Each structure stands twice: as structure tokens, then as C-alpha cells.
């Protein structure tokens, strides 16, 4: 199958590499010239576990191409996937569809033969109808089905999720399009292909992300309760998760959810609900409580550190396994501390450069964790990288100025740290 993917970002690039690995001829199209130039030189434009090896393999096999040209990518394609951004509008927070609309308009004239155009970007309900109208306006003769094919991958696990999806949701009434998608995923024997109508498919994506965000907010709310009551949130989450109706995933309390998706998609869902005159207080409360969490974390760190403290931050990405700092709780917490003129040095295994683009030289950056913690008055763990738990904490206890740790991800061994003389505070445990 010839597949064109429009948008070579955190979704488009791993998906393109994945489809090429399945044996398809894949054209990744992006209008960011420097991105395409880098990829054509063999330089990856983002960090994602396991991506590099598959990228190199498929480029070598001649199945993976990068281009800025719509005509080169779309001509003779059986499937065109739209994977451009749908960022929040700065004021209304609704999903901004300008990139989707531009992509639809730009791809339309180049369609040849029967083509399925699939929207993989997360888009408001009814966007499929808009994309269809645009494509028909700019190519009235096109033999095309416009379907919804939402993406459920997680950053950091994008390659794993591509090859092991729990479900593939397809929104279309066209049997021809359904057959093409069945053929595309023919080797995914254990994955449920769920065919629904286009609007249901668009809704499933928002409904899923909003539900997960609510679940995270719930466990963080419970963590606040544990901090007063003396229970331990990790034990509580383990006990809850043993009930299969609740499930043991997405119960890790932390500094609030971040990333380019949950904050954006909960806000877009809330906006959509208002447009339809529906109230969704669960979602609205989740948004408000999650928005308040970085300030709470910042205040805890500052209250442990004292005036003029040197604060060593471990972790800048919004989660482990990625260099993505978009709406990262770590960045938000740092920004809150900077409002109080905090002196911060930070280290992230992958995200120092992404963070530098947001924070500039308002903080210092270290090349490794030991460089960050040297002479620190407090260490704040803000991203759940496994390597932070594996640091030589005995060595660190001899390097810091004061032995204070605020573990916002509950990944360190508090007992060992206390034995080493650290004052250790984490999420969802009563401070000693």
C-alpha cells in the first residue's frame, strides 16, 4: 500500500515508521522544511524509545520517504493520513483546526484513483464533515472516502503502542474504506477493529482522554487526603487497582497530568460541551484542579528549601521516555518557582534542549544528574525517569549542601534516603 502521512511530529513520525515496518511504501509529508531536511539527512527530529533503529532500517529498505511536496506524497496513495497539530486556541481553548483545514485543502488536488483520507489528529466532533466538504470543494471529481482514525499512542511508548494497539477505532460508513483498513491491519490478529460512525469515532478519542484525566485527578485528590490522614497513596492505589473494575493503570499520583494532549483535549471537550449546551462538571473540575497543582508543588518545594536555596530539578519532560516539554508539569512548577526568584539548575536525560527552548537561560542546565545536585539545598524530582531511582544516592548525600528531597513522582526509595539522612517528602504521604 502507498501511504502518505501529513504531519511528521510525535504521531506522524512513529506511525510512518511503523507502517513502513509493516511493508508499506510510506511518504511522510511536512511543511517544516528544516524538519524534512534533517530527516532526509538521517537525523531524528524527536526522541522516542525504539524509534531510531526502525527509522534507519526502513529508510535503508527504501520504504520510508520524507518530503515537503504534497504532489509527490499524495499521488497514487491508497491511504492519506492527516496527523497535523490541533493546538488549543489561546483564549477559548477550543481545538484550532487551521492546520487540518489547510492540509485538507492542500492534499485535495493531488488525489488520484480511489483514496481513503483518514484523520488521525484529535479533532472536534463534526470535523470529518468539514474535511469532506473542503476536499470535495477543491477536487469535486475525487474518488475518496474521508474517515476518522483516532490515535491512542502514548509518547515514550509510541512504537510499542503502534505494534500492540488495544483497539483500532475506525469512523466510517463506507464498506470500501472499512476493507482498506482491514487490509492495512491484517497482521494485527489480536487487536479489535471497532467500526463506528465518524462522529462516534471522533467522540471516542475525547471521551477516552477526558476519562483518563479524570482518573488521574481522582488519584491526586485522594493523595491530598492521604497527606492529611496518614494513609499512603501508593498502597491505596495498589489496593484499588486489584479490583479489575477499577484497573491498576493510571493510578500513580503525581504533580498533575501534562503533555500536549490531556490538558488540550479536556479543554477542547469542555468547549465542545458548551457549544452543545451540555454541562460537564466532572471535566471542568478536573481541569481546574489539575491547573492548580503546579503551584501547590512549587510551594512545597520552596517551603522545604528556605530562602536563597539552590534547587536541583531532576526531570523536565512531561513524562519519562520522551523529550516533549509541551505543558510539562515540571516546566510549570519551575515557572511558579521562578516567580519567587528561585535559583534553579535542572537536568533531564532527553529534554534539556526542549526545555531550553521554553525557559531559556532563566535556569541553569546540567549535563547529568550529579552535576545538577552538586551543592544543592533541595532536590526536586519532577519527571519519573527510571534513572533517577538508580542514582548513587549515597554519593549524592555527600555532594549536596542540605539533604532535602521533594519527590513529586514517588519513584525514590524513601526509607533508604531517610537512612542516609535526607528529609524526604513525596506525594500522598503525611510529611514527617
Shortest spacing between CB 308 and ligand UGA, in angstroms: 30
Shortest spacing between CB 61 and ligand NAD, in angstroms: 24
Binding site for ligand UGA (CB under 6 A): 122, 151-155, 209, 212, 216, 250-252, 254, 257-259, 261-262, 318-319, 329
Shortest spacing between CB 317 and ligand UGA, in angstroms: 9
Selection from ligand NAD, ligand UGA, none that 15 binds (CB < 5 to 8 A by kind) is: none
Selection from ligand NAD, ligand UGA, none that 65 binds (CB < 5 to 8 A by kind) is: none
- 261 part of the active site: yes
Q: Which three cell numbers stand for residue 120?
A: 488521525
CA distance 407 to 422: 12
Which of 5, 62, 54, 45 shows the shortest CA–CA distance to 29?
5
Of 261, 325, 408, 426, the catalytic one is: 261
Selection from ligand UGA, ligand NAD, none that 124 binds (CB < 5 to 8 A by kind) is: none
Residue 301: burial class (beta carbons within 10 Å; 0-12, 13-18, 19+):
buried
Shortest spacing between CB 14 and ligand NAD, in angstroms: 9
Which stretch, 50-58, 101-109, 187-195, 381-389, contacts ligand NAD (CB under 6 A)? 101-109
Selection from ligand UGA, ligand NAD, none that 9 binds (CB < 5 to 8 A by kind) is: ligand NAD
Which stretch, 26-34, 174-182, 302-310, 409-417, contacts ligand NAD (CB under 6 A)? 26-34
Q: Which residue lies nearer to ligand UGA by CB, 259 or 349?
A: 259
CA distance 54 to 201: 29
Residue with the CB atom nearest ligand UGA in the bound state: 261
Which stretch, 83-91, 177-185, 295-303, 399-407, contacts ligand NAD (CB under 6 A)? 83-91
Which of 317, 338, 321, 215 shows the shortest CA–CA distance to 266?
215
Shortest spacing between CB 53 and ligand UGA, in angstroms: 21
- What residue has cell string 536541583? 312
Q: Which residue lies nearer to ligand NAD by CB, 332 or 410?
A: 332
Shortest spacing between CB 227 and ligand NAD, in angstroms: 31
CA distance 100 to 266: 19
CA distance 14 to 80: 15
- What residue has cell string 491491519? 185
Q: Which residue lies nearer to ligand NAD by CB, 122 or 350?
A: 122
8 A C-beta contact, residue 251 and residue 241 = yes
* Number of residues assigned to the chain: 432
Selection from ligand UGA, ligand NAD, none that 334 binds (CB < 5 to 8 A by kind) is: none
Considering the rule CB under 6 A, would residue 125 count as an interface residue with ligand NAD? Answer: no
Which stretch, 77-85, 131-139, 173-181, 241-249, contacts ligand NAD (CB under 6 A)? 77-85
Which stretch, 59-67, 95-103, 165-173, 231-239, contacts ligand NAD (CB under 6 A)? 95-103
Site string for ligand NAD, 4-23 (x = CB under 6 A): --xxxxxxx-----------
Residues that bind ligand NAD (CB under 6 A): 6-12, 29-32, 35, 83-86, 99, 102-103, 106, 121-122, 151, 153, 155, 260-261
Show which residues are catalytic: 261
Amino acid at each position: 500500500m502507498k501511504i502518505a502521512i501529513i504531519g511528521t511530529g510525535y504521531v506522524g513520525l512513529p506511525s510512518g515508521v511503523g507502517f513502513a515496518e509493516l511493508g508499506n511504501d510510506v511518504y511522510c509529508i511536512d511543511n517544516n522544511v528544516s524538519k524534512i531536511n534533517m530527516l532526509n539527512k538521517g537525523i531524528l527530529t524527536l526522541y522516542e524509545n525504539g524509534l531510531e533503529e526502525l527509522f534507519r532500517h526502513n529508510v535503508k529498505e527504501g520504504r520510508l520517504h520524507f518530503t515537503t511536496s504534497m504532489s509527490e506524497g499524495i499521488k497514487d496513495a491508497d491511504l492519506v493520513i492527516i496527523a497535523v497539530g490541533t493546538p488549543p486556541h489561546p483564549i477559548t481553548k477550543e481545538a484550532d483546526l487551521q492546520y487540518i483545514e489547510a492540509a485538507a485543502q492542500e492534499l485535495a488536488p493531488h488525489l488520484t484513483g480511489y483514496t481513503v483520507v483518514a484523520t488521525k489528529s484529535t479533532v472536534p466532533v463534526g470535523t470529518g464533515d468539514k474535511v469532506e466538504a473542503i476536499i470535495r470543494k477543491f477536487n469535486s471529481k475525487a474518488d475518496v472516502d474521508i474517515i476518522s482514525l483516532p490515535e491512542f499512542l502514548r509518547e515514550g511508548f509510541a512504537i510499542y503502542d503502534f505494534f500492540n494497539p488495544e483497539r483500532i477505532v475506525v469512523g466510517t460508513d463506507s464498506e470500501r474504506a472499512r476493507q482498506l483498513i482491514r487490509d492495512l491491519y491484517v497482521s494485527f490478529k489480536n487487536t479489535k477493529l471497532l467500526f463506528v460512525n465518524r462522529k462516534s469515532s471522533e467522540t471516542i478519542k475525547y471521551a477516552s482522554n477526558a476519562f483518563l484525566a479524570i482518573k488521574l485527578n481522582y488519584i491526586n485528590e485522594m493523595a491530598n487526603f492521604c497527606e492529611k490522614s496518614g494513609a499512603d497513596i501508593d498502597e491505596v492505589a495498589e489496593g484499588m487497582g486489584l479490583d479489575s473494575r477499577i484497573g491498576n493503570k493510571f493510578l500513580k499520583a503525581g504533580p498533575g497530568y501534562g503533555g500536549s494532549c490531556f490538558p488540550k483535549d479536556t479543554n477542547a471537550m469542555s468547549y465542545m460541551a458548551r457549544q452543545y449546551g451540555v454541562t460537564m462538571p466532572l471535566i471542568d473540575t478536573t481541569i481546574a484542579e489539575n491547573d492548580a497543582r503546579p503551584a501547590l508543588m512549587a510551594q512545597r518545594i520552596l517551603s522545604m528549601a528556605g530562602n536563597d536555596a539552590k534547587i536541583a530539578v531532576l526531570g523536565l519532560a512531561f513524562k519519562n521516555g520522551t523529550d516533549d516539554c509541551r505543558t510539562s508539569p515540571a516546566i510549570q512548577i519551575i515557572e511558579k518557582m521562578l516567580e519567587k526568584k528561585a535559583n534553579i539548575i535542572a537536568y533531564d536525560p532527553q529534554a534539556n534542549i526542549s526545555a531550553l527552548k521554553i525557559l531559556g537561560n532563566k535556569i541553569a542546565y546540567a549535563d547529568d544528574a550529579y552535576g545538577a545536585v552538586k551543592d544543592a539545598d533541595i532536590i526536586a524530582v519532577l519527571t519519573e525517569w527510571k534513572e533517577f531511582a538508580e542514582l548513587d544516592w549515597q554519593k549524592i548525600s555527600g555532594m549536596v549542601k542540605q539533604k532535602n528531597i521533594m519527590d513529586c513522582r514517588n519513584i525514590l526509595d524513601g526509607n533508604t534516603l531517610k537512612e542516609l539522612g535526607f528529609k524526604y517528602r513525596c506525594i500522598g504521604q503525611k510529611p514527617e
